[in-house]
Structure 1
């Protein structure tokens, strides 16, 4: 993305901003015949359109309140519902510990504004969620990549934030064990950092036992949510609807109050009618929506893993996520996924190259595949085509030189 005029008096922050590679890809991959493994977009057949239509109709009969300004903290019944759900999941809280946001993406922006000054240390996994890197980069932090092993965590100096997607991470699909979560929390305490737990995919588990959230572990250790240091970022985008843009932050009341002030300056409040509709749907059918999503996505994940088992060339590794929407491929080091994407697009196959998920320009030999939006047959055929292209790239690489075709 470029600007037409070089003389606009832009801020230093604006010069640091870069377009999302995924958002740019979405503009291209809508052409007919494209098999897209790029965006982690929810399956639209899961949206209960009839229930949403009825919920909007009910909201609009409420004397116009749904079309009025509302409190910055969020619609009280929705905050109360979220607080009850979080409490049931081991995060004992009340509505004063919940701020409704314009999707969990806004939560990341608000948190960045609250904590980050230029040069502050921000610890992340590598790779990590591109949207978080975009959001936090605006505040010019010093990114520190770290893996939280259960027995030994790399030491570093003070840090402001530790950002993690502990369940079925975007992009890798990996899940932190309980010991790794505890290690990350212990590191944050030593570093004086706030933990940002991005729980966008936590409900989408297809196998195995659910693990306690980092917020729940933090509260169990510290004694209460107000003594904890974790900000839990949740969203309804992956379970009910991404288009309504409703998410939340749950954490110590003192931090929620400060985040609320920043949100007031940003947008006053999240759309009243959307919050009311989400509350109506969540109150009556949240668990059912989650179960339907799990059943559908589990089948698509299985189809992708089976196709990779059949077709992936030797030397190509991939994760086996227990949930979420993504599989992460690791190619031999001499292959460049950006070059591979250009060739794949000629065959109507799209994915996200790995560099987008690293702060240091590494990850060229990685790529992210999403299975959320394609039927099993399309997944199998698309993976077969992609792996055929990888075979060609590997042979070309063996013949000499860095290549992907």
Structure 2
């Protein structure tokens, strides 16, 4: 048998750090605040089952072919109508159904950029998007956020500086306007308008990732960034948070049909599973969607309240946070001198996982935050999990004080 020689694989794969929670499943009593997953109680198993049977019985032979049956058209029509809730008016030919919103991010990135181009993101931002941008071999920079989202004044200052210095303008800016991952904040209407204005003035695109838009505890929906600048926005969303992530179905829409056509050209899988689209078309036809979302949002709101109460009880004034009005996440901020990675492993050994803040930054990383997901875990375990994190933090704090002779 010949010795196997070392093989030089592609150099495009970035060296990204392994999440501390990556081995979390190994703990037998894990409370997984690291998991950005929907609650299992949010899945309408009965209706999904009926929808799958209907897809086979009513149009099975066509639904199982490459091109599918009527389902994909029904799904696109539903997306078109639902988009009006965030002030988006779009033609069906400008909508592309994708294998989850992650594929939409990938397709948009490869459509808009070449290796070496510049992309700007919020600080902090979704680490999955950072990975996609890194694989596209672009240069990533960040703009800070506050409780009202991306700081557009700082963005404008940086754009002016780039023009003055003859430096590259970003090909696009990646933004999560509603219930941001990880901070949970929403971009204000004023900043949505300003961001769209800057996109027109400086000729860049906005990648508007609106995965959490339906998860509003009040039911209120703000107009999309797209509605203020459709010629320079690609809008993305997903069924992962409203139906189930396992169906792997999201979408992208753009006013410019050329953009959508080029994204289709890059979509090497052809059509997103036409049979799954057939199932989802039956689901959407039969579900009382507003009631469905109210049930989910009531569940998540109760879990969010449980987590906030536990944080207040266990940490008092030691941490700060902005209470989210929707979405999946609570972003805890510790004193500036704290490095949350220093007690992540201790928390994991106690049976609770979270994601420390260093993974959400591309430059000038802040290390004194953690992201907690309140959707996946029941209220009793939320109380236990927050207590375990507090025990890990205070033990770490005490050890540091001893070392420093305090």
TM-score, normalised to structure 2, is: 0.89
Deviations 1:64-106 (A, max 9, x none): 11211127xx921211111111134311112111000000000
8 Å CA contact 2:235, 2:253 repeated in 1: yes
Q: Which residue of structure 2 lines up, in the alignment, with residue 375 of structure 1?
A: 378
The answer (yes or no) to whether the contact 2:133–2:140 under 8 Å persists in 1 is no
| Aligned-residue CA RMSD (Å) | 2.2
Which residue does the alignment assign to 1:260?
264
Please name the residue that 2:248 is paired with: 245
What residue in structure 2 maps to residue 49 of structure 1?
A: 45
CA–CA separation in structure 2 for the residues paired with 1:109 and 1:150: 25
**Segment of structure 1 superposing worse, 300-309 or 148-157:** 148-157
1:309-339 Cα distance to aligned partner (Å, 9 max, x none): 1211544222311111001112223332222
Q: How far did residue 401 of structure 1 move? A: 5.3
Question: Per the alignment, do residues 395 and 63 of structure 1 end up closer, same or farther by CA in structure 2, a change over 3 Å counting?
Answer: closer
- Find the partner of 1:330 among 333, 356, 362: 333
In the aligned structure 2, how far is the partner of 1:390 from the partner of 1:242? 32
Partners of 1:17 and 1:249 lie apart in 2 by: 28
Aligned mate of 2:285, from 283, 286, 299: 283
Out of 145, 165, 172, the position equivalent to 1:161 is 172
Contact 1:208 1:322 in 2 (8 A): no
Counterparts in 2 of 1:187 and 1:144: CA distance versus 1, 3 Å: farther
The structure 1 segments of at least 4 consecutive aligned residues displaced by more than 6 Å after TM superposition are: none
Q: Give CA deviations for 1:100-154 in whole Å, capped at 9, x if unaligned.
A: 0000000011011111222212111011001101111111212121134355533
User: How do 1:41-190 and structure 2 match up within 5 A?
Assistant: 41-61=37-57, 62-70=59-67, 75-147=72-144, 148-149=150-151, 153-156=156-159, 157=162, 158-190=169-201
Match in the other structure for 2:227: 216
8 Å CA contact retained: 1:17, 1:138: no
CA distance in 2, matches of 1:401, 1:216: 54
| Residue 272 (structure 1) aligned to one of 274, 280, 297 | 274
Q: TM-score, normalised by structure 1?
A: 0.89
User: 2:34 — aligned with what?
Assistant: 38
SS at match of 2:229: helix
Instruction: Report the counterpart of residue 225 of structure 1 in structure 2.
Output: none
Q: Which residue of 1 aligns with 2:11?
A: 12
Note the C-alpha offset of 1:20: 6.2
Residues 103 and 245 in structure 1, CA contact (< 8 A), matched pair in contact too: yes
- The gaps in structure 2 that reach 5 residues or longer are 145-149, 163-168
- The 1-side partners of 2:92 and 2:219 are apart by 31
Cα distance between partner residues in 1 of 2:85 and 2:235: 14
The answer to which of 294-303 and 172-181 deviates more is: 172-181
Equivalence for 1:195: 206
The number of equivalent residue pairs is 383
SS at match of 2:235: strand
Residue equivalent to 2:314: 311
Task: Report the 3-state secondary structure (helix = DSSP H, G, I; strand = E; otherwise coil) of the residue aligned with 1:144.
Answer: strand
Change (3 A) 1:271 1:208: closer
CA contact (8 A) 1:118 1:139 kept: yes
Q: What is aligned with 1:346? A: 349
CA contact (8 A) 1:195 1:230 kept: yes
